[in-house]
């Protein structure tokens, strides 16, 4: 049996193997940390050091960049939604809101129930109404009627209007519809198409801050808003959630969801 040690540089095969591995690692490092990142034309990859840091995933706070700031092409919502927003309102606030709401009756009804395919506001979450009024005022959401109406409202006016409509009782459904009969897109969504169940955010399973209560909304209104989210003409949803969902829904799913929440007879 040979007494010669294998793992020694006197063994030429061991030496060749080690040197070969070092060369391979050096070449791989150069390709992965220098050449490939340097092939990118984005500003964060400019220079060898920035290329290495980018490939390694190391934050480069010292890199300021000299390119122009990319501004969004549309006005986005600036409202910070929290579960605690407008959760309690005084009687005075509700009373002031009732007076302000007299100018809203033509579209939203005397008690927040619309006969004009405008959204029903009775019993809607106060934070939702408040957010939409601010978005109309700031231009994050546009409408030929609502944008001018919201333009001259003060912040307190919007809070009072939201408190008043939230204080009104929600109307009972025109007919009871079993949750088991909800359309698949409402009950289960479509995970393969990145569509979460509607009920996760809009009630039924859970309610997400800033998401409106949809039961009883006119089907024409719900459908028009889903279409607007899908084609990008409405962009005031938080983090683009509704745009991402709506653009992946089929026209049939949009019709089914709108009919279901309206509690129409053709809801499936």
Question: How confident is the prediction along the chain (268 residues), in pLDDT tens digits per residue?
Answer: 455 677 777 788 888 888 999 999 988 888 877 766 666 666 555 666 666 666 666 655 555 555 677 778 888 888 888 888 888 899 999 999 999 999 999 999 999 999 889 999 999 999 999 999 999 999 999 999 999 999 999 999 999 999 999 999 987 754 444 566 789 999 899 999 999 999 888 876 557 788 998 988 999 999 999 999 999 999 999 989 999 999 999 999 999 999 999 885 443 3
Can you give the pLDDT at residue 267?
38
Q: Closest Cα partner for 166 from 227, 222, 94, 104?
A: 94
Can you give the pLDDT at residue 200?
86
Q: Name the CA radius of gyration of the chain, rounded.
A: 29
- Provide the residue ranges of all domains of the chain, joining segments of one domain with +: 1-70, 91-167, 179-262
CA distance 133 to 153: 9
Per residue in 81-106, is it b (16+ CB within 10 Å) or e — as a string? beeebbeebeeebbebbbebbeebee
Residues with Cβ < 8 Å from 107, sequence gap 6 or more? Answer: 114, 116, 118, 145
- Would you say the CATH fold of 179-262 matches that of 91-167? yes
Q: How many residues does the chain have?
A: 268
Per residue in 220-231, is it b (16+ CB within 10 Å) or e — as a string? ebbbbbbbbbbe
CATH class of the domain defined by 179-262? mainly alpha
CATH match for 91-167 among 3.30.365.10, 3.30.470.20, 1.10.760.10, 3.10.20.30: 1.10.760.10
Residues with Cβ < 8 Å from 147, sequence gap 6 or more? Answer: 136, 137, 139, 141
* Backbone angles phi and psi of 195, in degrees to 5: -110, 115
Can you give the pLDDT at residue 98?
97
């Amino acid at each position: 049996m040979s007494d010669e040690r294998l793992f020694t540089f006197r063994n030429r095969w061991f030496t060749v193997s080690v040197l070969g591995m070092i060369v391979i690692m050096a070449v791989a490092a150069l390709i992965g940390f220098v050449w490939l990142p340097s092939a990118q034309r984005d500003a964060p990859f400019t220079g060898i050091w920035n290329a290495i840091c980018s490939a390694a995933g190391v934050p480069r706070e010292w890199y300021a960049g000299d390119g122009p700031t990319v501004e969004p092409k549309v006005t986005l919502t600036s409202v910070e939604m929290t579960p605690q927003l407008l959760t309690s309102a005084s009687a005075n606030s509700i009373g002031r809101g009732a007076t302000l709401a007299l100018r809203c009756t033509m579209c939203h009804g005397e008690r927040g129930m619309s006969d004009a395919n405008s959204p029903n506001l009775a019993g809607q979450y106060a934070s939702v109404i408040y957010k939409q009024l601010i978005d109309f005022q700031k231009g994050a959401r546009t409408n030929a009627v609502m944008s001018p109406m919201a333009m001259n409202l003060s912040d307190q006016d919007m809070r009072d209007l939201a408190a008043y409509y939230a204080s009104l009782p929600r109307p009972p459904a025109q007919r009871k519809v079993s949750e088991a009969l909800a359309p698949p897109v409402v009950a289960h969504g479509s995970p393969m198409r990145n569509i979460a169940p509607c009920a996760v955010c809009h009630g039924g399973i859970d309610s997400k801050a800033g998401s409106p209560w949809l039961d009883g909304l006119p089907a024409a209104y719900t459908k028009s808003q889903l279409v607007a989210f899908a084609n990008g003409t409405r962009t005031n949803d938080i983090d683009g959630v509704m745009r991402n969902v709506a653009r992946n829904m089929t026209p049939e799913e949009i019709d089914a969801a709108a009919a279901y929440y309206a509690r129409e007879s053709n809801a499936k």
